[in-house]
Amino acid sequence: MTELIDDYPQHIAVIMDGNGRWAKQRGKHRYAGHLAGVQQARNLIETCVDLPVKVLTLFAFSSENWRRPALEVRLLLNLFLLKLRSEIKTLHANQVCFRLIGDVSAFPDKLQNRVSYSEDLTQNNQALLLQVAANYGGRWDLTQATRRIAAQVAQGELQPEDITEAHISQNLAFPDVPDPDLFIRTGGEVRISNFMLWQCAYTECYFTDTLWPDFDAAALQQALHSFAHRQRRFGRTGEQLKT
């Protein structure tokens, strides 16, 4: 069934989970799963460019993923750098605007430089905003927002009693982007794992057992179909929305 444009989420946020298990099922090293996962991310980005979706946020590396074995962390960061190098031209040609959200300061200089270069190169592109969340955590985001607000209070620019939800939203890592409409998590776990805690307050959640490297365009269509048939009430009653 074809959905109407209004039925599409403007912003999709994805926890791409299940790469390790995908590799294990095939008797391969976890890295093979990450490679296949990057390929699927590439496919998903291309699909979204052709859909009325405006923002795609992909969770690539959480602030907790540093706890993985050092070798896996190194391989993941290397893979990110390699793919950013090899893919940025295609992303740019497809009018994709790339942005990294997360604490980049912990990354090797080479990666930080590549991220800045990629952001600068693609900043005016309009087809899709691709946000890659790396060294990102919802708690980190809320903590850094709190620090900025506290600094404004300390400077006398803001009174504590004047702090509103808007102040918090405006001080998060990416204040110019609408909250996600649809949150997808692959890989069978039914948890948020410290993703966009504030921004997902009213996001529609879609969990699937499909492992990330298998999450193809048809799987995305199923998630979109599910989204299109939800009633988003934001606290109101169903009857109110019909009138």
By CB under 5 A, name the binding residues for Mg ion. 17
171 is catalytic: no
**If we measure between CA atoms, which residue out of 211, 213, 182 comes closest to residue 55?**
182
Residue 50 designated active-site: no
Residue 62 binding partner per list Mg ion, ligand IPE, none, with a CB distance cut-off of 5 to 8 Å that depends on partner kind: ligand IPE
Partner from Mg ion, ligand IPE, none contacting 138, C-beta within 5 to 8 A by type? none
Cβ within 8 Å of residue 197, ≥6 positions away: 138, 139, 141, 142
φ and ψ of 159, to 5 deg: -95, 140
- Residue 15 or 88: the one with the smaller Cβ distance to Mg ion is 15
Binding to ligand IPE, residues 177-236 (CB under 6 A): 187, 189, 191, 193
Q: Tell me whether residue 50 or residue 64 sits nearer to ligand IPE (CB atom).
A: 64
Nearer to Mg ion, 9 or 33 (CB): 33
Instruction: In angstroms, give the least distance from the CB of 153 to ligand IPE.
Output: 33
Among 9, 20, 137, 180, binds ligand IPE (CB under 6 A): 20
CB of 44 or CB of 76, closer to Mg ion? 76
- Minimal distance, residue 66 CB to ligand IPE, in Å: 10
- In this chain, which stretch among 39-47, 62-70, 139-147, 225-233 interacts with ligand IPE, using CB under 6 A? 62-70
17 binds ligand IPE (CB under 6 A): yes
Residue numbers annotated as active site: 17, 65
Instruction: List residues near ligand IPE by CB under 6 A.
Output: 15-21, 59-62, 64-65, 76, 187, 189, 191, 193
